[in-house]
Amino acid sequence: MAGKMAGGSFIENLPKIYGMYTGGFLVFVLLMAILEQMGVGADTIGILFVAFTIVIYAAIGFLSRTMAVDAYYVAGRQVPAVFNGMATAADWMSGASFVAMAGGIYFGGHGYLAFVVGWTGGYILVASLMAPYLRKFGCYTVPDFIGTRYGGNLPRFLGVVVLAVASFTYVTAQINATGTIAARALQIPFEVGVWFGLLGILLCSMLGGMRAVTWTQVAQYIVLIIAYLVPVFWMSNKQGFGLIPQFVYGDAVARITELEALHGLGTLDPVAGAKGGLRALSVPFAAAGDSAMASWKFVTLVACMMMGTASLPHILMRYFTTPSVRAARQSVAWSLMFIFLLYFTAPALATFTKLQILDPELATGIIGKSIADVQALEWIQKWSNVGFAQIIDANSDGILQLNEFFMRGDIVVLATPEIAGLPYVISGLVAAGGMAAAMSTADGLLLAIANALSHDLYYKIIDPEAETKKRLLVARILLLGIGAAGAFVASLKLTSILGAVAWAFDFACSGLFFPIVLGIWWKRANRQGAIAGMAGGFLAGTWYLYMVRWGGMDPWIGIDHLRFGIIGMPVSLVLMIVVSLMTPEPDAETQAMVDEIRVPSGDTVLGSSH
């Protein structure tokens, strides 16, 4: 890490540095395994895992401290494509992806896979419509592009508002996740865990801004991907499912369909009396609804998640950090590749966990077994104690039926090592991975909000004369304030993790998707159109969310609160086109600027330090 300050040599040495880091992490895992064998308790190992990794991230954050605007906002634009891909993947994969996704698939089956499709395919839009052009533009933030392209303070301000609402919705969920994991691993109350998580997050980003976040996110990606893949591979091989689980679970899916019939899925309704947040299986795994409504619900969710991906500023701003337009494009492809590694594993994990729980012929199977036996299992006891699992023998026959077993979706990732009988060191690893996923996303989001407020609101609108030192000080104070606000909201536990995550995508696509895309691809788009498109789309989407969620309105044709982008986006598109055409076209200078961002070569439109 000593070379960190010496720009060029540090970049050249990246593969070596992160290679050593990965090796060091594996040695640490091994050491923990040895400690476990020597009789060190599970709790101590959990604490060591979480504490050790957070200290490493904080150290990277400290070493990457900077007082240069360029480094603070865009990591000096020197992050190589592959490393930026890793950082983006960590930025992208949240606590929800890591902890909740496999559980969502476990309970929701095919319908839930819309999230998996939506959260990968969105990168095609990022690469083909946005990232390279925004990189050529040379902006520091997404509202920076909107403000310069459309001119005037109002578009910039609206961009900041949409960004702040979408990202803040998202960041509370991430701080919530860090709090949950920290609370469990370190055995502190949730409310304390939330603030502890925030401390870790701020240590990574306060001093070095984007530069610090970039290099910690790469480190966090390495931890999270190891933590996700190792248990799945180990479990698959231990249980004899296959060497590479992702390619062999087809038969397991077929077997689950048989078992669902055997256990009476669809004929048994979950019995009453389960604790909040716990669910029993009630949806078939592989079957897809055979109606236009089912298909409609699937594709509308996919659409919202994809357009949301392409509008979320904390993702787009990662592509401002590459050395070139070409590298920005390559970097999007690498991001998707690194994300794919986790996302195509999640369905395999959900399948094998389900098979292990449902199949009475496997030693791990619990459905159809005697309740006394099941309650003697260590993982059932442990997770029942913390309210993550529950057994209700409603018909008092002493046998566990499908509709009598309840659990939280998170268990699929968190308890799989225990269900499959893997050593505890793996559970510690999983906790560290979940922490890395939630922290890296929270970091990116907090920085996106703070940067937009400090650069676009403070520097560009309120005080354009501010000196560099003052700008960076304001940026840091905002980061601290927003982080504290996020932690405070998270400690109130207002909504489930997933609800909030989907909303962030809907907010982002309602307000920002068309103003960004048309700003690049339609020269005729002007300020009035952008104002109408941003405000109209955002307000329409927000109004619909409010009405469906709290106002007692019935969703229109199956568009529930998770999909309100389907209302916001068309409003945004139509308003933007109609209003643009009704008002004068942009001046020649703006049109020339649009021509300029379409060409990769040459200088960025905005200067390197603006």
Interface ranges with other proteins (CB under 8 A): 105, 110, 113-114, 116-118, 120-121, 123-125, 127-129, 132, 246, 248-251, 253-254, 257, 285-291, 294-295, 298-299, 302-303, 306, 324-326, 329-330, 332-333, 336-337, 340, 343-344, 347, 595, 598-602
Task: Considering the complex, state which of residue 152 and residue 250 has its C-beta at the smaller distance from other proteins.
Answer: 250
Nearest residue to 258 via CA among 148, 179, 359, 165:
359
Residues 6+ apart with CB under 8 A from 193: 178, 179, 180, 181, 182, 183, 184, 186
Cβ closest to other proteins, residue 465 vs residue 589: 589
C-beta closer to other proteins: residue 125 or 452:
125
Pick 117 or 547: Cβ nearer other proteins: 117
Rounded Cα gap, residues 82 and 159, in angstroms: 29
Measured from the CB atom, the residue of 118 and 483 that comes closer to other proteins is 118
CB of 124 to other proteins, least distance (A): 4
In the complex, least distance from residue 534 CB atom to other proteins, rounded to whole angstroms: 23
Q: Quick one: 305 or 447, whose CB is closer to other proteins?
A: 305
Q: What's the one-letter identity of residue 144?
A: D
Shortest distance (Å) from residue 219 CB to other proteins: 24
What is the 3 state secondary structure string of 535-590? HHHHHHHHHHHHHHHCCCCCCHHHCCHHHCHHHHHHHHHHHHHHHHHHCCCCCHHH
Between 331 and 526, CB nearer to other proteins? 331
Q: How far is the CB of 358 from other proteins (least distance, A)?
A: 17
User: What is the nearest approach in angstroms of other proteins to the Cβ of residue 532?
Assistant: 25
Distance separating alpha carbons of residues 434 and 223, to the nearest angstrom = 9
* Continuous segment of H or E residues that includes residue 389: strand 389-391
Q: How far is the CB of 486 from other proteins (least distance, A)?
A: 31
40 CB-near residues (< 8 Å, 6+ apart): none
State in angstroms the smallest separation of the CB of 308 from other proteins: 13
> For residues 87 and 348, which CB has a smaller minimum distance to other proteins in the complex?
348
Nearer to other proteins, 109 or 515 (CB): 109
Whether 430 and 227 have beta carbons less than 8 Å apart is answered as yes
- Token pair 């059932």: residue: 380
Least Å distance, CB 73 to other proteins, is: 21
> Tokens 């609160």 correspond to what residue?
561
Least distance to other proteins, CB of residue 538, Å: 24
| C-alpha closest to that of 257 among 293, 283, 292, 278 | 283
Nearer to other proteins, 333 or 574 (CB): 333
- Integer Cα distance of 142 and 256 in angstroms: 45
- Using CB atoms within 10 A of its CB, is residue 47 exposed (0-12), middle (13-18) or buried (19+)? middle
Is residue 568 a contact partner of residue 511, using CB atoms and an 8 Å limit? yes
Residue 229 tokens read as 């893949």
Q: Assign 307 to helix, strand or coil.
A: helix
At 475, is the secondary structure helix, strand, or coil? Answer: helix
Cα(304)–Cα(32) distance, rounded to whole angstroms? 42
CB of 608 to other proteins, least distance (A): 15
Say if residues 534 and 512 touch (Cβ distance below 8 Å): yes
Residues whose CB falls within 8 Å of the CB of residue 214, separated by 6 or more in sequence, listed in order: 64, 75, 79, 83, 84, 87, 318, 321
